[in-house]
Amino acid sequence: MFAIYIKLRIGQFKRVSLPTYSDLIEETHTSQSLGFDNIFPNELCERGGQMIFIKLRESIEKNKLYVHCNGKLLNQNDFQVDKTILSFESPVCTQNRKDVEVTAHIEKTLGYTTYTVPYHLHGDHSEPCGVINED
Ligand SMILES: [Zn+2]
């Protein structure tokens, strides 16, 4: 399904056409540029264990995607790709780290994209993290 949207400002779009049910765009889209359109959440718990979701600009076959998190290459079992959504679990904050750094690269292409999400103290973040407070 696709429809025409106009961009109002960063992160806000307004639909200006009726939705069209077709896979025309996927069939004709051959560009292999990788871009992160969006990442969720925008803050992470220092204790890790949260799912990070990254909206890719286009769907990419999982086995062509190389994802590094804090410098470590994730293996194919460590992340999921559902059409244009890349997801994986956030790592525990290690000493001296202030953020999670995600780098993604598509096989046989030049360049890579990096995104960082800041760590917050367990007692100081707004999104629920699912870690039971043992204090
Ligand atoms: Zn937490």
For 12-22, write each residue's pLDDT tens digit: 676 766 666 55
Mean pLDDT value across residues 89-94? 93
125, 45 Cβ separation under 8 angstroms: yes
Q: Residue ranges of the domains in the chain?
A: 31-123
Find which of 49-58, 61-70, 103-112 is predicted with most confidence, using mean pLDDT: 61-70
Percent of the chain exceeding pLDDT 70 equals 68
Distance 37 CA to ligand 1 centre (A): 25
For residue 28, is pLDDT > 50? no
pTM over 0.75: no
Domain 31-123, what architecture? Sandwich (2.60)
Distance 128 CA to ligand 1 centre (A): 7
For 71-80, write each residue's pLDDT tens digit: 999 999 999 9
For residue 90, is pLDDT > 90? yes
Distance 132 CA to ligand 1 centre (A): 8
Give the burial string for 13-43 (b: 16+ CB within 10 Å, else e).
Answer: eeeeeeeeeeeeeeeeeeeeebeeeebebeb
Measured CA to CA, the distance from residue 58 to residue 2 in angstroms comes to: 13
Distance 56 CA to ligand 1 centre (A): 26
Measured CA to CA, the distance from residue 26 to residue 124 in angstroms comes to: 41
What is the pLDDT of the chain when averaged over all its residues?
Answer: 79
